[in-house]
Chains A and B, each alone.
Chain A
Amino acid sequence: MSTAASLHQNRKRKNAVMMTLCVVAAGIGLAWLALILGALLYKGLSGVNLAVFTEMTPPPGDAGGLLNAIYGSIVMTIIGIVVGTPIGVLAGTYMAEYGRFSKLTTVVRFINDILLSAPSIIIGLFVYELMVRPMGHFSAIAGAVALSILVIPVVVRTTEDMLNLVPNALREAGAAIGAPRWVVIRSVAYRAALSGIVTGILLAIARISGETAPLLFTALNNQFWSSNLNAPMASLPVTIFQFALSPYEEWQQLAWTGALIITLTVLGLSIIARSLTGRREDR
């Protein structure tokens, strides 16, 4: 009787210990997020002023802003998205619509998943060999191409997943009134999967707007204003990298402010993206 009771006690105690550890683990996860965001706000906010958005990156030891870096980031992100999204959406369309059961789809899905998690610095090396070396110089367009290669797998994945969720009855209804397949895809499948596909694009923007490694030796950096796509261009992440590792206090402050800007942008985009799909699930 007493051994049975103590066994019961033991199991209950063990359960309590393990479950407490699980709660602690969740606490640790949340604490990290809070610590990082807290430090960013604390160090970054003090540097936020109008000059950040209106002045160029300064020479060492001077005050200045991040205008050319912000501009460069926006330009390269937009080109990356404009180039990468159509390819990604079309590839995802093939996988979910025309070739849902083909061998090609299985292979592409596997390779795409690997590209999705492949180290981004490898993509940087690839674009360096592909564009920078033949052209003989670093350029913004090479940086944008590197970013577009990062966009493609994200968009392919979400497009395929979202199109697969569209009920077949909808497609059959479209086909039954005589619409050819591409019209069914365009007017029925895309429309039904629209919020999901937009989510994928937002997630892709969130991903590439903070990417540093693929830009390091494609777009390089530029201390001055440049809108020439064929020349090196500054970007926010690379500028943060350079400024944070410098010994100058003004540069480090700008790095923190830039880090805050990027993080808020990225987190904002992912929260919008999630709320789009969240509504979907509730329906």
Chain B
Amino acid sequence: MTAVSDAATSSALRTREATVRRFAFTDMAFRTATRLSAILVLVLLGGVAISLVTGSWEALSKFGFSFLTTESWNPVTENFGALAPIYGTIVTSAIAILIAVPIGIGIAVFLTELCPRPLRRPIGIAVELLAGIPSIIYGIWGLFVFAPFLQTTIQPFVIWLFKGIPGLNSLFAGPPYGIGLLTSSMILAIMVLPFITSITKDVFDTVPAVLKESAYGIGCTTWEVTRRVTIPYTRVGIMGGVMLGLGRALGETMAVTFVIGNAHRISASLFAPGTTISATIANEFTEADGDLYTSSLVSLGLILFIITFIILALARYMLLRIDSRTGA
């Protein structure tokens, strides 16, 4: 009798032990799989950096530092310099940010302070849908709808308006092509607008209600509350959002490729065609013959990677700061 029950308990114990061991093993296997996947994310970024450096080695060792300061880009004589694309990238992104920031903050203020509650979500979603539209759609729209519109209406008017004003007349010099640096900047502005808006709206929501209410309590207007309380309180977060938008604008490829004109030169006029790093790569990579040409294009990619990495890292750092403050 006892022997039988002993045997039963010991066999039950054995199966339980086996089950526990199996559980522990599966758990370890699952844990390792998740950990490896997390590490893979790091490996991916490392791999991107390494492949760009090795790919650009030939061009960088040939041209050295002068790659960054040479304007000429000549596939025939195999003389390549990155100055024109770098200039185009920075100018278009900077103007895009200048246009998008006030509009983005304006929309965020509208959504948090003015908008009737039932409309808030639909309008917020509509603006965020702008972020979902693929960049090639902005490109085709920019080339066939927006650029001709600018060419026939806005650009001739602006050229005429600033004709007599020194400085401005070279900045807005004709002929009006429609495509060019300014057109690209405006398309980029539309594309980064949703990023800036949604982050600004999110950080506006972190402002403690009691701060705003006390400002309203001493008789401030909505604008004064926004200007003196909300914006100062969320300054770091807004900067983070702007940097994030800037990172997007710097690397944006297809939309710009359609409307920039792809000309390797630096002109004073914003109406002139130019090029950006990403547009150059997109336009020329498959046609590049010769290792040096390909390598020069990869070098452009490396430069873009370094610039966007720094900008995006700064953006994340700033957004982390505001996160930790609301967490505390």
Contacts and interface: CB of A to CB of B under 8 A. Distances in A.
B134 A237 contact: yes
Question: Which bucket holds chain A's interface residue count?
Answer: 35 or more
Contact of B224 (A15, A87, A255): A15
A114 B102 CA distance: 25
A256 to B, nearest CB: 7
B252 interface: yes
Given A121-B282, A126-B51, A129-B54, A212 B114 contact: no
B312 A117 contact: yes
Nearest to B197: A29
B42 A119 contact: no
A168 B223 CA distance: 42
B26 A25 contact: no
Given A91-B40, A216-B286, A240 B52 contact: no
B129 interface: yes
A255 B226 CA distance: 45
B205 interface: no
A99 interface: yes
Contacts of A95: 38
Contacts, number: 265
A256 B140 contact: yes
A69 interface: no
Contacts of A256: 140, 144
A5 interface: no
Contacts of B15: none
Contacts of B106: 21-22, 24-26
B222 A19 contact: yes
B1 interface: no
Given A15-B221, A123-B48, A183-B23, 14 more contacts: A14-B223, A15-B224, A87-B37, A114-B309, A119-B278, A125-B301, A126-B48, A152-B41, A180-B24, A180-B27, A210-B135, A213-B253, A216-B286, A266-B132
Interface string A231-263: 000000100110011000000100110010011
Interface residues of B, number: 91
Interface stretch (B78-86, B119-127, B206-214): B119-127
A107 B304 CA distance: 22
B93 to A, nearest CB: 12
B139 A244 contact: yes
Given A15-B223, A25-B102, A94-B35, A122 B301 contact: yes
Nearest to B251: A119
Interface stretch (A31-39, A57-65, A191-199): A31-39
B129 A126 contact: no
Closest 4 CB pairs of A and B: A210-B134, A119-B251, A25-B106, A94-B34
A26 B110 contact: yes
A91 B41 contact: yes
Interface stretch (B3-11, B242-250, B267-275): B242-250
Contacts of B292: none
B38 A99 contact: yes
A209 to B, nearest CB: 8
14 contacts: A26-B110, A105-B38, A108-B42, A114-B45, A121-B278, A122-B48, A122-B301, A152-B40, A181-B31, A210-B137, A213-B282, A266-B132, A270-B132, A274-B125
Contact of B39 (A14, A104, A130, A183): A104
B258 interface: yes
A149 interface: yes
